[in-house]
Amino acid sequence: MASSLVFSAWIVLGLFMAMGTLTFVPQAQAARAFFVFGDSLVDNGNNNYLATDARADSPPYGIDYPTRRPTGRFSNGLNIPDFISKQLRSESTLPYLSPELSGQRLLVGANFASAGIGVLNDTGIQFVNIIRMFRQLEYFQEYQNRVAALIGAERTKQLVNGALVLITVGGNDFVNNYYLVPYSARSREYSLPNFVKFVISEYKKLLARLYELGARRVLVTGSGPLGCVPAELAMRSRNGECSAELQRAASLFNPQLNQILQELNSQFGSDVFVGVNTQAMHNDFISNPQAYGFTTSKEACCGQGPYNGLGLCTPASNLCPNRDLYAFWDPFHPSEKANGIIVEQFMTRGSTEYMYPMNLSTIMELDSRT
């Protein structure tokens, strides 16, 4: 449904969490604020408040969440932002559209993500009413105005400058746009290499705008192996092999994303944007799921058809009895356990293979001196 960036989720998750312990600007709050932008990999329930099909507000979503009820997260339980908030020793960020997000809870941060969106405004048009990236950034500005009315403009600036920011977007521009249907409008307009360049150029504008709005430490996730999720295996694979075309898209997208992060950091004179190599760790899950306690990385826990990869996860879907044995919860999104393992991996690994332009230990050391 919403994105193959899901994979990214895994890798990114850990990263983010680990980084959650950093401190940049002195703040009145005990924990630093946390802001989330992106798609279904990180949506905490904004789409519950919208008239759209891109929702996860019915069972069995949330079956392993503490309340055992669906929350709008595309997970059987916790998602990436939840694990990051734990590392920040903070409560989970609320969806920006939630009526509960008011008063002191605003100081925790906010989740602006919306399932189905991409970098491009025409991505996810089949979902109609979703919060596209330009609107997420408008909400971020609106959020700051609300907080300023609470604690003043100067403290609000400190809160935002000192916050941890996560942005996970881009996979849907391929899954729910370029490759959505044969001979899609975008595929007729662009060759794949040129389409990637176009998406990257638009992404760079979004990141620059995020900086203008005060973000000073932004974790940017790359795309995971787009062609290896159960949904793509069900639609495009004959013998369980990953989709070559979608894998090619990811292989073109990620290096160019790294390049613009370097360019922006050079432009701003600081390592504001930290790239997360979501593809590297997700490949670990794909190639050797048993090493992480999973029985499979090809079949989703909840779904139907080949690899449980067709359609949506609904009360009528096949549902595995033990979610902890599956790397994927539904046709596109990782299980809660997968998200948790990714977090653990990034808490213990400091290699720049997974994080750039510097590894986690270097960032923590630098930020402790600020």
CB of 113 closer than 8 Å to CB of 333 = no
Q: What is the pLDDT of residues 218-236, one digit of tens each?
A: 999 889 889 999 999 999 9
Does 342 or 79 have the greater pLDDT score?
A: 79
**pLDDT > 70? residue 33:** yes
Confidence of residue 306 (pLDDT cuts 50, 70, 90): very high
Task: Kindly state the percentage of the chain with pLDDT values over 70.
Answer: 84
Active-site residues, by number, are 40, 330, 333
Tell me if 33 sits within 8 A of 109, measured CB to CB.
yes
Report pLDDT for 369. 63
Q: State residue 7's pLDDT score.
A: 39
- Which of 132, 124, 171 is closest to 5 using CA atoms? 171
Q: Supply the DSSP symbol for 247.
A: H
pLDDT at 357 > cutoff 80: no
Cβ atoms < 10 Å from Cβ of 157: 15
Strand pairing class (273-276; 355-356): antiparallel
Q: How far apart are CA 298 and CA 339, in angstroms?
A: 16
Cα-flanking dihedrals φ and ψ of residue 298, to 5°?
A: -100, -35
Amino acid at 300: A
The token pair at 18 is 């680990």
Domain ranges of the chain: 6-368
Q: pLDDT at position 281, please?
A: 65
The confidence score (pLDDT) of residue 6 equals: 40
Share of residues in the chain with pLDDT > 90 (%): 72
Which overall architecture, per CATH, does domain 6-368 show? Answer: 3-Layer(aba) Sandwich (3.40)
User: How does pLDDT run across 241-288, given as a tens digit for each residue?
Assistant: 999 999 999 999 999 999 999 999 999 999 999 888 777 766 778 888
Q: How confident is the model at residue 335 (pLDDT cuts 50, 70, 90)?
A: very high
- 339 CB-contact burial (10 Å; exposed 0-12 / middle 13-18 / buried 19+): buried
